[in-house]
Amino acid sequence: MPEEKDSTKSTDSHSKANGHEFRVIGVPRRRVDARAKVTGQTRFADDIFLPRMAHCKLLRSPHPHARIRKIDASRALACPGVYLVLTGKDLPIQYGILPVSQDEQALCVDHVRHVGDPVAAVIAREELTAFEALDLIDVEYEVLKTISNPEEALATPEPRIHEYGEEGNIHKLVALEFGNVEEGFAEADEIFEDSFFYQGNTHLPIEQHAAVAIKDPDGKLTIWSSTQTPHYLHRALAKVLEMPAAHIRVIATPNGGGFGGKSDPFNHEIVVAKAALVLDRPVKICLTREEVFYCHRGRHPVLMKFKTGVKKDGTITGMHLQTLIDGGAYGSYGVASTFYCGALQTTTYHIPRYRYEGCRTFTNKPPCGPKRGHGTPQPRFGQEVQLDKIAEKLKMDPADLRLGIVESSNAMTANFFRLGTVNLAECIRRVVQLSGWKEKFRKLPEGRGVGLACSAYLTGAGLPIYWNNMPHSGVQLKFDRSGGVTIFCGATEIGQGSDDVLAGIVAEVLGIDTFDVRLFTGDTDLGPVDLGSYSSRVTLMAGNAALQAAERGKALLAEAVAEKLAVPRERLRFADRRVFDSTAPEKSVTFQEAICLAEARFGTIGTVGSYTPPKSPALYKGGGVGPSPTYSYSAAVVEVEVNATTGWIAVPKIWIAHDIGRALNPPLARGQVEGSVYMGLGEALMEEQEFRRLPKRLSHALVHKFPSILEYKSPTSLDMPDVITELIEEPDPRGPFGAKEVGQGPLLPIMPAVANAVYDAVGVRIDEVPITPEKIMKALAEKKAGREPRFGPSHFPHVNWPEPLRVPPPWEGGDGNAVNDVARRAKPRPEKEKVLAS
Amino acid sequence: MATLSIESQKTSQIRFTLNGEEVDVSFAPYKTLLEVLREDLGHTGTKHGCELGECGACAVLLDGKAVLSCLVLALECDGRRVLTVEGLGEEGKLHPLQDAFADLGAAQCGYCTPAILVTAKALLDQNPHPNRDQIREALSGNLCRCTGYLQIFEAVEAAIVKIAGQNNSET
């Protein structure tokens, strides 16, 4: 076999862990798609140009809330070069990512709910023609009262933004109680009540969303799109276009950044699909940056109230969390987000009794959804800042306090989440040591400070978006006589390295190089379903599926080689593109010969693997959000310098330790940590999705304050501090080669660590994100005036919370069901689709 | 009979050097260099994130200087030299910057990468031994949402060492 290594890095170096020697796993490697990326050859959706391709532009509502009285597109249609105008009546079927919130239409039929909601589409020969023709569509609107924030939503039941939900403009109410939290407070030595506000922000992927659709020569539909979830888009297209899914092919092109922002099925994808079918020619759309801000699905703004009881030693006796969540104009993942806002508080520290109440309202703003950390960074910020306050009151070091209450491996939480390996204590000890915490905390000169915070995150959502009992990930492997192995999998490359994970695992098992592996991923026709690149699920789930498929192929090859070499199968080793007797390595065949032997013996060699997460013990209604095969843990120390004259915050250095289980490709794992730290720092200091009202003499509409990259501040290369990253590698048996997630968890501790560091530096609490110089100046002024040295929310509006579902925690004999709800243990699977988050 | 839309009116023509090769191209006069590269010349390696000069994803070298191709009219480029990511490597080999970016995790999604590579090349052409602060400064107009920039800095530094080694062995 020719040594076609091209420019791939040699894998001469080995990694060792647990006595096993790996040739691929754990060895720093050039990722399989790196060459395409550095040569500009990666084909993103907007890089697709097809013959006869038409271009699509969307006409978007200038009003935040209005009825559509009339649409007249005749002038646009008469425009030379315009092929087609679509309006809501062409695509009336509602869709949405969650089965319980099918509340979107590709083009609004009679009701627009935020500035930017699309009402018509023009498809023309040229992009500019389509753009110019938008002005020729006459839309008559009847403007409705605008709901601009959750408090207004609570106070304004009419007009309703949607005709479904709890009541008025409340989309979702959640109330869960695990043990009697009042009893917990009665046992406490101290009770802490704190309010926090976490401003919304957006993903800002540098690639704008784009999609190209064609009617295939045989009449079927193919769409390429920058989507993180081709499988869910596939389902939405089938529903709205009323076509069998089998006649639709979705190809997720590599995403130029996703971060959760490309996880919903989008109106523009459905529109180009419809247009391609109508016109029988390729149709492309690429959103402008302004439109990307209107797609949004970003971080929900959340107002929070934490009440926490603690013993003198820091032990938590009970916690009560309330959240008020600004959902924006549509459901999106919002029901799941509402549960996520309360789900993971129990996974870091032992909380024996816990009550969560969450309320998501609709508002006339672009819809919020999942952004890196989905629903958990907001409460994590509150919880970790409150712990800092608790430590100070108890005169404890915040690191020591946390070390005393961290959860243990394999624990079951109060809300019935089964944890995997928990190395949070080690994470804390590492960052304390590396940062010189003990020499710095409360000891640095005025204006300089350090803060510490921790977090946990899912390694994949334990339940799918729609109810089914099938695997979450599937992999097919083809073993070719040439010696090559081809991986087919629905997993989607969004930059996180999912292709490299699959190739690395397969290459390790089979003893070949990742360069010997070909990948066909993110394609609903070519590969078995993978649910998508969200919830940090790909490494564990698609990885385990790949591992199973590779092991099955290896077994076939081993059987054939064992016979040929007359060596017991268990003595065979696969390494360096050979299969050999481990006791007499000269007795060997090449990997290619092994495939040929196996093919001669068994016929064509192809194997499959799949992964289904373990069943969750959280049986109560709502227990579908939060379970995961295992959780990652992070601890971070942030150092800040605060200028008391200007309020300016500089961050010279960050130390972070992440409990990853195993790093499959160390530079990529480190890159995920650093990228998370970066994004967390942006959220901590500057990123915010803000709105303003236009002047009365204009429309007085509620508009995005600055839908542009220039005004939406994000950290540049000049803002990025040094980051010391420590990967804690204790393999978790649930992950492939012990791997846990790394793409989201390390973002979570950054925001609270910055807030805690600011307090250490200048003695003011900023209980709100982002932490801007303006807020620091206001808090410093309060301090100077002898008032509470703090900036943050002071009240939580009244919400009519429902009676909570009461779930006795495991240590009170609970079985995972709510005592005041029907038992769900032996419940037969519902016939109709049902969202697990509801 | 419908008249041609403005975009189809390829009334402008220029001749310029693209990645070392002389090319002629006709295009609608309002088009930017970015649009002409991607749409009229099929060079899609150069990306776009805003088309307003905010993100840096469309950077190319114009007469050796990093510019945002979304802010340059193609008409301005007649007779000039343009280098894009497609022209970085030579004789089938990756440029040391490309090698280092690929090996050291400096490209995650890869979308901002082409522009960062050519911007880094412009820096190294002008200053073969920049320090970390100079690298930060040079790349401060190129937003990257994936990496947190640190592995990009390290890759540029690794390429500096490699290029210096190559130059020494050549002399």
Residues A777 and A644 in one domain: yes
Say if A4 falls within a structural domain. no
Structure tokens given for A626: 């939060």
Whether residue B125 is predicted with pLDDT greater than 50 in this model: the reply is yes
Q: What's the CA gap between A477 and B81, in Å, rounded?
A: 47
Among the candidates A593, A611, A629, a domain finishes at A611
Containing structural domain, residue B124 = 96-170
Residues A543 and A604 in one domain: yes
CB A492 within 8 A of CB A229: yes
> Which of B103, B111, B135 has the CB atom closest to A9's CB atom?
B103
Q: B37 to chain A: nearest residue by CA?
A: A47
Q: How are strands ordered across the β-sheet holding A170-178? A: A768-769, A190-198, A302-310, A316-326, A354-361, A170-178, A805-806
Residues A509 and A543 in one domain: yes
Chain A, chain B: beta-carbon pairs less than 8 Å apart: 202
Say if A250 falls within a structural domain. yes
CB A817 within 8 A of CB A620: yes
Residues 6+ apart with CB under 8 A from A780: A644, A647, A762, A764, A789
> Which of A207, A289, A723 has the CB atom closest to B111's CB atom?
A207
Q: What's the CA gap between A48 and A50, in Å, rounded?
A: 6
Radius of gyration of chain B (CA): 17
Residues 665-704 on A with a CB inside 8 Å of B are 667-668, 670-671, 674-679
Report the gap between the CA of A669 and the closest CA in chain B (Å): 9
Q: What is the pLDDT of residue A12?
A: 44
Residues A282 and A323 in one domain: no
Residues A417 and A546 in one domain: no
- On whether any CB of chain A is under 8 Å from the CB of B121, the answer is no
Among the candidates B85, B111, B138, a domain finishes at B85
Phi, psi (rounded to 5 degrees) for B7? -65, -30
Say if B103 falls within a structural domain. yes
Q: What's the CA gap between A8 and A34, in Å, rounded?
A: 9
Residues 41-80 on B with a CB inside 8 Å of A are 42, 44-52, 54-55, 57
Q: What is the pLDDT of residue A828?
A: 46
Q: Are strands A768-769 and A190-198 parallel, antiparallel or unpaired?
A: parallel
- DSSP one-letter code for B153: H
Alpha-carbon distances, residue B17 vs A87, A174, A693, B90 (angstroms): 45, 63, 49, 16
Residues 6+ apart with CB under 8 A from A134: A57, A58, A59, A76, A120, A122
Whether residue B1 is predicted with pLDDT greater than 80 in this model: the reply is no
- DSSP one-letter code for B5: P
Is the link from the previous residue into A157 a cis peptide, with omega within 30 of 0? no
Q: A32 to chain B: nearest residue by CA?
A: B102
Residues A523 and A567 in one domain: yes
Residues A260 and A334 in one domain: no
Tell me the helices (H) and strands (E) count for chain B, helix number first. Answer: 5, 5
CATH number of the domain where residue B106 is located? 1.10.150.120
Residues B43 and B68 in one domain: yes
CB A60 within 8 A of CB A117: yes
Q: What is the pLDDT of residue A4?
A: 41
> Which of B44, B49, B102 has the CB atom closest to A208's CB atom?
B49
CATH number of the domain where residue A482 is located? 3.30.365.10
Only one residue has tokens 């006589």, namely A481
> Which of B54, B111, B140 has the CB atom closest to A44's CB atom?
B111
Closest CA to A497 of A254, A744, A676, A224: A254
ipTM > 0.85 (yes/no): yes
Residues 6+ apart with CB under 8 A from A584: none
Residues B4-31 have pLDDT tens digits of 566 678 899 999 999 999 999 999 999 9
Residues A270-317 have pLDDT tens digits of 999 999 999 999 999 999 999 999 999 999 999 999 999 999 999 999
- On whether any CB of chain A is under 8 Å from the CB of B7, the answer is yes
> Which of B6, B52, B98 has the CB atom closest to A38's CB atom?
B98
Q: What is the pLDDT of residue A832?
A: 44
Q: What is the pLDDT of residue A550?
A: 98
List chain A residues with CB under 8 Å of B40: none
Report the gap between the CA of A189 and the closest CA in chain B (Å): 42
CB A263 within 8 A of CB A333: yes
Say if A181 falls within a structural domain. no
Q: A44 to chain B: nearest residue by CA?
A: B111
Torsion over CA of A283, B40, A292 and A464, rounded to 10 degrees? 50
Q: Are strands A66-72 and A138-143 parallel, antiparallel or unpaired?
A: antiparallel
Q: What's the CA gap between A389 and A378, in Å, rounded?
A: 17
Residues 6+ apart with CB under 8 A from A260: A203, A228, A297, A298, A369, A370, A371, A372, A374, A534
Among the candidates B32, B58, B85, a domain finishes at B85
Residue of B8, B61, B101, B150 to mutate, interface with A, max A Cβ within 10 Å: B150
Containing structural domain, residue A336 = 302-463+620-791
Residue of A13, A37, A204 to mutate, interface with B, max B Cβ within 10 Å: A37
Closest CA to A294 of A96, A101, A61, A115: A115
Helix (H/G/I), strand (E/B), else coil: A671: helix
Say if A832 falls within a structural domain. no
Residues A371 and A474 in one domain: no
Q: What is the pLDDT of residue A696?
A: 83
Q: What is the pLDDT of residue A826?
A: 47
CB A517 within 8 A of CB A546: no
> B117 — alpha (psi -120 to 50), left (phi > 0) or beta?
alpha
Residues B131-162 have pLDDT tens digits of 999 999 999 999 999 999 999 999 999 999 99
Torsion over CA of A348, A353, A359 and A365, rounded to 10 degrees? -10
Residues A521 and A381 in one domain: no
CA–chain centroid gap for A168, Å, is 29
Residues A444 and A484 in one domain: no
Among the candidates A269, A295, A321, a domain finishes at A295
Are B49 and A7 within 8 A, CB to CB?
no
Q: B50 to chain A: nearest residue by CA?
A: A289
Say if B41 falls within a structural domain. yes
Structure tokens given for A757: 């560091």
Are B42 and A49 within 8 A, CB to CB?
yes
Residues 289-308 on A with a CB inside 8 Å of B are 289
Among the candidates A791, A810, A831, a domain finishes at A791
Residues A176-235 have pLDDT tens digits of 999 999 999 999 999 999 999 999 999 999 999 999 999 999 999 999 999 999 999 999
- On whether any CB of chain B is under 8 Å from the CB of A653, the answer is no
Q: What's the CA gap between A113 and A161, in Å, rounded?
A: 7
Which amino acid, residue A310?
V
Phi, psi (rounded to 5 degrees) for A406? -65, 145
Residue of A212, A664, A717 to mutate, interface with B, max B Cβ within 10 Å: A717
Q: What is the pLDDT of residue A5?
A: 41
Q: What's the CA gap between A558 and A567, in Å, rounded?
A: 10
List chain A residues with CB under 8 Å of B139: 717
Total number of domains constituting chain B: 2
Total number of domains constituting chain A: 3
> A195 — alpha (psi -120 to 50), left (phi > 0) or beta?
beta
Alpha-carbon distances, residue A818 vs A53, A561, A622 (angstroms): 56, 56, 10
Say if A190 falls within a structural domain. no
Residues B114 and B139 in one domain: yes
CATH number of the domain where residue B41 is located? 3.10.20.30
Say if A6 falls within a structural domain. no
> Which of B42, B49, B103 has the CB atom closest to A289's CB atom?
B49
Residue of A47, A127, A206 to mutate, interface with B, max B Cβ within 10 Å: A206
Residues A82 and A66 in one domain: yes
Q: B8 to chain A: nearest residue by CA?
A: A126
Residues 6+ apart with CB under 8 A from A378: A196, A198, A299, A300, A302, A304, A323, A341
Residues B31 and B71 in one domain: yes
Which residues in chain A come in under a pLDDT of 70?
1-20, 825-838
Residues A570 and A641 in one domain: no
Residues B26 and B67 in one domain: yes
Residues B42 and B73 in one domain: yes
Among the candidates B85, B114, B137, a domain finishes at B85
Say if A75 falls within a structural domain. yes
Say if B137 falls within a structural domain. yes
Q: What's the CA gap between A424 and A282, in Å, rounded?
A: 51
> Which of B84, B111, B150 has the CB atom closest to A720's CB atom?
B150
- On whether any CB of chain B is under 8 Å from the CB of A31, the answer is yes
Are B48 and A208 within 8 A, CB to CB?
yes
Q: What is the pLDDT of residue A831?
A: 44
Say if B90 falls within a structural domain. no
Average pLDDT, chain B: 95
Are B108 and A125 within 8 A, CB to CB?
no
Say if A508 falls within a structural domain. yes
Q: How many CA atoms lie within 13 Å of A354's alpha carbon, on the beta-carbon side? A: 20
Closest CA to A269 of A290, A248, A289, A254: A248
